[in-house]
Amino acid sequence: MNFADLLSAVRTHPQAVTLPGEWAQGRAGYGGLMAALLFEAIQARVGKERPARSLAITFVAPAPLGAPISFEVEVLREGKSVVTLLGRAVAEGGTVTLMQASFGAPRPSYIDVPALPAVETKPLADCTPLPYLQGVTPEYIRHLDLRWGIGGLPFTGSHGRQMGGWVRLRDEPSAEPVSEAHLLALVDAWPPAVLPHLSKPAAGSTLSWTIEFVQPLANLTTQDWCRYCATIEHARDGYGHTSAMLYTAEGKLIAISRQTVTVFG
């Protein structure tokens, strides 16, 4: 099942969605896909006049593969402009993913501060592709195309603070409009920015994640490339704290992300 198939599945049968093994991240389902599916279930409860502003995501437990997952949504408060919702992805063993989501209608304001310029990135043609290698890279990489253009690759013993490059969905059959659900998959596609500091393979995963969307969303399709750059702010005791930006190919800011990651090495 490709990304579009799974988004369709959560819209039509949110009480029983099964993640196939090709979307695995180690022994669990890919976190970016889980966030995208839970967001899709939440967004179905909100009108188009209130776009997504911010999400707070906690990966409580590994999302099972090949077993049904239920996506549940609760409206916490609905005001004149902002609605806040809580989403849960629940499997047989309990909650696996939590998401608190805030959607807000635009309101008049005198404040208009543009984003800082995008971080310089190597041209796409000069970047190193991260291919899908069975048994080496995570299974979900077969669905995402990453090109390394900033910092070192994982497990190469490089000690820079920044990591990133270019990203898009891989082998999309048609150019569909990009939504916030797609952006969640693109941002979380990248490994933790601390992994290049290691000189041998070790497991790493996201513990908590907040992401904010710049609205209105840029006019992108699923065949367009985006630019990504993550910065390590602090790392010690097996935990890393990183911030990241996602831009259009032209350097327009799309999303702002922060993650706390765990590293077993």
Q: Apex CA 72: angle with CA 262 and CA 240, to 5°? A: 10
Confidence of residue 45 (pLDDT cuts 50, 70, 90): very high
Q: Is the pLDDT reported for residue 129 higher than 80?
A: yes
Identical fold, 1-105 and 120-265: yes
CATH architecture assigned to 120-265: Roll (3.10)
Strand order in the sheet with 203-213: 17-18, 68-78, 82-91, 94-104, 52-59, 203-213, 253-264, 239-248, 226-236, 162-169, 144-150, 128-130
Domain boundaries, the chain: 1-105, 120-265
- Give the pLDDT confidence of 196-229 residue by residue, as tens digits: 999 998 888 899 999 999 999 999 999 999 999 9
| Distance separating alpha carbons of residues 37 and 182, to the nearest angstrom | 10
pTM of the shown model:
0.94
- Give the pLDDT confidence of 237-257 residue by residue, as tens digits: 999 999 999 999 999 999 999
Strand partners, 68: 18
pLDDT value at position 156? 93
Q: Is the pLDDT reported for residue 171 higher than 90?
A: no
- Give the pLDDT confidence of 141-167 residue by residue, as tens digits: 999 999 999 999 999 999 999 999 999
Is 3.10.129.10 the CATH classification of the domain at 1-105?
yes
With beta carbons less than 8 A apart as the criterion, state whether 112 and 136 touch.
no
Residue type, 126: D
With beta carbons less than 8 A apart as the criterion, state whether 55 and 9 touch.
no
